[in-house]
């Protein structure tokens, strides 16, 4: 339960209220991680929150993308290069990337949900010929809150079909408007031979998973990453209970055939 | 040596203290039976019993010489296995110091079968998974458990239903049964540590009659359970997430968290971070938390379980159903504390019985 100290190596603001930090251990090595795993990030004296790992930095540290929504996330977003934070983890089950081999892949992200999916897309594109069509669909509240815009463009150049939609367009926006599910019409995939990775607000994940399954994707081939309150991340504090599961250990990534019936229960 | 008879608890308490144990036992305080450190048997609650009903707890004098004529009290062993608040670490500048793990040698005197079962549940939670808690292990190993077989179950007790009592069968170092006329204690040995302590006491071998009397105490107690729970098919009944019963109980529940604070197995905690203005040291502490608080399930400022029915359903379902999925055992030991200490008298046994 005691964090290890990491130093902020770089800090890159991603638009309005979101920051990507790269972190390196003050001493020792940075443990490996699987796409979809998270760390508990500690802002000294303020608090600790779970944050997905959004990538491995060039120097070997973790990249973590944080949106300032509360006291702890705001404190973490304010950390400058050279300052220290505490890190525990990585924790949890990551995405089943190997299960997608040989199939079409749909990566669907809502808002900051793109962060835990970034290592998935990077892994897919690093072995491009191992997969069928790769589609990345991403939604944002507004063009200004879309994270990783340059990286999305790079993924398109590397062979993914990348589509972006916003809820609230500004005058410069010429793309589609609405919810992520609308983009499912714009991508090409063979439902029975498709694996999907979905992350975003729970309503977005449910709607996206339902739509993919309605089109014929097997519920066991749709993976979601859940968000729950967490204090310990090691199955002791009780906060992240989701029916019979603990999201910290049994998740955060769950298959839709497993999570779907429980997501349908309000306030579970 | 399986069982002996002792005439008084005084030598036992003295022996435990001479071995470096703080003896913690039941005392009358604030109109209730509470656990606190005692130096002599004179502090134990002689001639006192308790009346327990939903939302009601009263002590009553019996006028006899019996010491353990009461049922579960608001304190449980949890206070000693999992302290209400503990510092986890301190951070000074760019240095993190782990808090020194405190594990005082405590002899808990007067623990009942339900509470031993609760410790067994906690052992599974804190030591049985992939991330055992070293601080819990230290505290647990430092704890000596001197149980008492329940003679007078409370009106809210249902340990028989949960298969956890009233007779002590496992997890104890010693188990006492209080016998009357003449006043004496049958002592059953549960561990080598327990045996070592008994050997240092003035004792007599237990005659067959005392063993039979002790059996009778437990048999009588089992027949006097205040309440009952049908555990057969309980997980199925609790899968009725849409039952109108949740709305009804949610309308009564104050979400005060009393039930979780007195529960001997509720293990949920939260953390508190603070910074000293004097030297800038940051500290992180862990304290008991409850799924009844609004902030418990809060993500990005919005609680997952925002309604009373939702939070009550989470608690009851966890105790009796999902706990079994998670840990292979029930989270309830039938001590009845949650019923007694609910300010509006919500009765888990009644709620379970009324689910479809």
pLDDT in tens, B178-233: 999 999 999 999 999 999 999 999 999 999 999 999 999 999 999 999 999 999 99
Q: Residues 71 to 90 of B: which have CB under 8 A from any A CB?
A: 88-89
Nearest to B322 among A48, A243, A266 (CB): A243
Nearest to A228 among B241, B304, B309 (CB): B304
A91 touches chain B (CB under 8 A): no
Tally of helices (H runs) and strands (E runs) in chain A: 6, 14
- The encoded tokens of residue B184 equal 């004496």
Task: Return the residue of A nearest to B304 by Cα.
Answer: A267
Could you report the predicted ipTM of this complex, rounded to two decimals?
A: 0.94
* d(C-alpha B21, C-alpha B148), whole Å: 18
- The encoded tokens of residue A49 equal 């929150």
Of B106, B100, B89, the closest CA to residue B135 belongs to B100
Least confident range of A242-251, B6-15, B51-60, B94-103: B94-103
Q: Could you read off the pLDDT of A104-144 as tens digits, one per residue? A: 999 999 999 999 999 999 999 999 999 999 999 999 999 99
Q: Are strands B302-303 and B106-111 parallel, antiparallel or unpaired?
A: unpaired
Q: So what's the pLDDT on residue B102?
A: 78
Q: So what's the pLDDT on residue B103?
A: 87
Q: Could you read off the pLDDT of A91-100 as tens digits, one per residue? A: 999 999 999 9
Query: What mean pLDDT do residues B262-280 have?
Result: 95
* d(C-alpha A257, C-alpha B264), whole Å: 35
Return the half-sphere exposure (C-beta side, CA atoms, 13 A cut-off) of residue A234: 17
- The encoded tokens of residue A12 equal 């890159």
B271 touches chain A (CB under 8 A): yes
Q: Could you read off the pLDDT of B313-328 as tens digits, one per residue? A: 999 999 999 999 999 9
Q: So what's the pLDDT on residue A14?
A: 84
* d(C-alpha A156, C-alpha B139), whole Å: 56
Distance of residue A185 Cα from the nearest chain B Cα, in angstroms: 31
Q: Residues 169 to 228 of A: which have CB under 8 A from any B CB?
A: 227-228
Query: What mean pLDDT do residues B249-257 have?
Result: 98
Query: What mean pLDDT do residues B259-288 have?
Result: 96
Contact between A246 and A234 (Cβ < 8 Å): no
Query: What mean pLDDT do residues A229-249 have?
Result: 97
Contact A241 B325 (CB under 8 A): no
Strand partners, A110: A139
Q: Could you read off the pLDDT of A135-188 as tens digits, one per residue? A: 999 999 999 999 999 999 999 999 999 999 999 999 999 999 999 999 999 999
- CA dist list (Å): A100 to A18, A43, A131, A133, A184: 30, 36, 7, 11, 18
Task: List the alpha helices (DSSP H) in chain A.
Answer: 71-77, 114-126, 149-157, 202-214, 247-250, 256-263
- The encoded tokens of residue A125 equal 């594109």
* d(C-alpha A81, C-alpha A85), whole Å: 11
Helix A256-263 vs helix A202-214: crossing angle, to nearest 10? 120
Q: How confident is the model at residue B153 (pLDDT cuts 50, 70, 90)?
A: very high
Q: So what's the pLDDT on residue B302?
A: 92
* d(C-alpha B203, C-alpha B5), whole Å: 6
Residue with tokens 């609680």: B303
Above 80 in pLDDT, residue B22? yes
Which residues, at least 6 apart from A262, have a Cβ–Cβ distance to it below 8 Å? Answer: A242, A243, A245, A268
At residue B60, the 3 state secondary structure works out as: strand
At residue A139, the 3 state secondary structure works out as: strand
Q: How confident is the model at residue B100 (pLDDT cuts 50, 70, 90)?
A: confident
Q: Could you read off the pLDDT of A39-92 as tens digits, one per residue? A: 999 999 999 999 999 999 888 899 999 999 999 999 999 999 999 999 999 999
Contact between B22 and B104 (Cβ < 8 Å): yes
Beta-sheet strands, E only, within B62-149: 85-92, 95-98, 106-111, 143-148
B294 touches chain A (CB under 8 A): no
Contact B297 A228 (CB under 8 A): yes
Q: So what's the pLDDT on residue B356?
A: 84
Q: So what's the pLDDT on residue A15?
A: 75
């Amino acid at each position: 339960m005691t964090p290890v100290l990491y130093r902020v190596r770089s800090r890159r603001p991603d638009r309005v209220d979101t920051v990507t930090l790269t972190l390196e251990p003050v001493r020792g090595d940075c443990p490996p991680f699987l796409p979809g795993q998270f760390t508990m990030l500690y802002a000294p004296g303020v608090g600790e929150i779970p944050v997905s790992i959004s990538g491995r930095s060039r120097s070997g540290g973790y990249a973590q993308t944080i949106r300032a929504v509360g006291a702890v996330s705001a404190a973490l977003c304010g950390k400058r290069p050279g300052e220290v934070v505490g890190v525990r983890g990585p924790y949890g089950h990551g995405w089943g990337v190997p299960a997608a081999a040989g199939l079409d892949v749909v990566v669907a992200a809502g808002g900051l949900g793109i962060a835990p999916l970034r290592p998935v897309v990077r892994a897919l594109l690093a072995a491009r010929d191992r997969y069928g069509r790769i589609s990345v669909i991403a939604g944002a509240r507004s063009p200004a809150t879309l994270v990783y815009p340059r990286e999305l463009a790079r993924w398109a150049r590397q062979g993914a079909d990348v589509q972006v939609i916003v809820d609230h367009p500004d005058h410069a926006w010429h793309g589609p408007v609405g919810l992520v599910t609308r983009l499912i019409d714009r991508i090409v995939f063979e439902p029975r031979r498709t694996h999907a990775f979905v992350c975003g607000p729970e309503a977005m994940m449910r709607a996206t998973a339902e739509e993919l399954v309605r089109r014929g994707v097997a519920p066991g081939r749709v993976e979601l990453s859940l968000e729950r309150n967490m204090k310990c991340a090691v199955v002791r504090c009780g906060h992240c209970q989701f029916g019979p599961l603990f999201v910290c250990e049994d998740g955060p990534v769950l298959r839709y055939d497993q999570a779907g019936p429980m997501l349908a229960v309000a306030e579970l | 040596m399986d069982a002996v008879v002792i005439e008084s608890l005084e030598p036992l308490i003295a022996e435990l203290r001479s071995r470096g144990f703080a003896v913690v036992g039941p005392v009358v305080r604030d109109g209730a039976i509470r656990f606190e450190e005692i130096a002599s048997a004179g502090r134990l609650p002689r001639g006192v019993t308790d009346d327990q009903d939903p939302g009601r707890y009263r002590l009553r004098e019996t006028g006899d010489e019996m010491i353990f004529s009461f049922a579960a009290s608001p304190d449980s062993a949890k206070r000693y296995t999992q302290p209400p608040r503990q510092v986890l670490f301190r951070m000074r500048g760019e240095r993190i110091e782990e808090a020194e793990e405190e594990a005082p040698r405590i002899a808990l005197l007067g623990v009942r079968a339900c509470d031993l079962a609760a410790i067994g549940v906690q052992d599974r939670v804190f030591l049985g998974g992939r991330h055992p808690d070293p601080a819990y292990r230290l505290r647990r190993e430092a704890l000596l458990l001197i149980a008492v077989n329940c003679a007078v179950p409370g009106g809210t007790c249902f340990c028989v239903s949960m298969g956890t009592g009233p007779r002590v069968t496992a997890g104890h170092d010693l188990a006492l049964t209080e016998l009357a006329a003449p006043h004496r204690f049958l002592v059953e040995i549960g561990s080598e540590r327990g045996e070592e302590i008994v050997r240092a006491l003035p004792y007599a071998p237990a005659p067959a009659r005392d063993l039979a009397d002790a059996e009778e105490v437990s048999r009588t107690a089992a027949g006097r359970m205040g309440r009952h729970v049908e555990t057969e098919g309980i997980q199925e009944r609790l899968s009725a997430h849409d039952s109108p019963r949740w709305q009804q109980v949610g309308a009564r529940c104050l979400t005060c968290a009393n039930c979780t604070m007195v529960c001997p197995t509720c293990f949920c905690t939260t953390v508190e971070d603070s910074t000293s203005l004097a030297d800038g040291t940051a500290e992180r502490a862990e304290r008991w938390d409850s799924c009844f608080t609004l902030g418990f399930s809060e993500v990005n400022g919005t609680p997952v379980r925002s309604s009373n029915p939702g939070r009550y359903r989470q608690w009851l379902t966890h105790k009796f159903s999902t706990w079994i999925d998670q840990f292979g055992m029930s989270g309830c030991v039938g001590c009845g504390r949650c019923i007694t200490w609910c300010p509006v008298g919500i009765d888990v046994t009644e709620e379970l019985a009324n689910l479809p």
